[in-house]
Amino acid sequence: MMTELCAYLRNYFLVDYMNPEERIHYGSFTIEDGQIEPLSFLKQGQYFRIVGSDLNDGVWQYGISNDLTDETFEGAVWAMSIPPDVIALADEILAWCDQNASAVNSPYQSESFAGYSYTLKSGSSSASGGSDSFGWQTQFASRLAPYRRLSVL
């Protein structure tokens, strides 16, 4: 969920946006036994972003069981500093998605049964696969707004 949330917000919470060259580390990285090689610039439990991997692009948590796929890749690792409020919000969104999965994935906006009528959802599809009118992006829009950026960097 954190990868999808950061992509939606266009905000990867880079530790220092003013000096990205100090927080985005380029090079060759190895993932073995589901963990990325020890990285001195990350702390235990810190979120980081992998870019340029064939199998593991996304947001992960350092030193936590990530189930990364073993590989060696040329790319970048971003040191992130996600606010606790955003982490808690991601948990709420995940719980909301689990609770509302059938409604989000349904093609119907409303149904009646007496004389049977239905209304199909309209609008473009959201990243979660449902309609924008009932996706997590709409349901949490006001709480996500303070964290949205115009561009990733």
3-state SS string over the chain?
Answer: CHHHHHHHHCCCCECCCCCHHHHEEEEEEEEECCEECCCCCCCCCCEEEEECCCCCCEEEECCCCCCCCCEEEEEEEEEECCCHHHHHHHHHHHHHHHHCHHHHHCCEEEEECCCCEEEECCCCECCCCCEHHHCHHHHCHHHHHHHCCCCCC
Task: Give how many domains the chain has, as a whole number.
Answer: 2
In this structure, are residues 35 and 91 in contact, taking their beta carbons and an 8 Å threshold?
no
pLDDT confidence band for 18 (50 / 70 / 90):
confident
Report which of 98, 32, 96, 90 is spatially closest to residue 66, judged by C-alpha positions. 32
Band the pLDDT of 30: cuts 50, 70, 90. Answer: very high
Q: Is residue 106 part of a domain?
A: yes
Are 69 and 110 found together in one domain? no
Of 79, 103, 119, the domain-final residue: 79
- Does a structural domain hold residue 152? no
Asked whether residue 67 falls in the same domain as residue 90, the answer is: no
Query: What tens digit of pLDDT does each residue of 81-134 get?
Result: 999 999 999 999 999 999 987 766 656 555 566 667 656 555 544 444 444 557
Distance, in Å, from the CA atom of 49 to the CA atom of 60, rounded to the nearest integer, reads: 6
pLDDT at 64: 87
> Residue range 8-29: average pLDDT?
87
The reply to whether 101 falls in a domain is: yes
- What is the structure's pLDDT at 127? 45
Q: What is the span of the domain harbouring residue 64?
A: 2-79
Indicate the residue among 31, 63, 79 that finishes a domain.
79
Residue 94 placed within a domain: yes
pLDDT greater at residue 98 or residue 152: 98
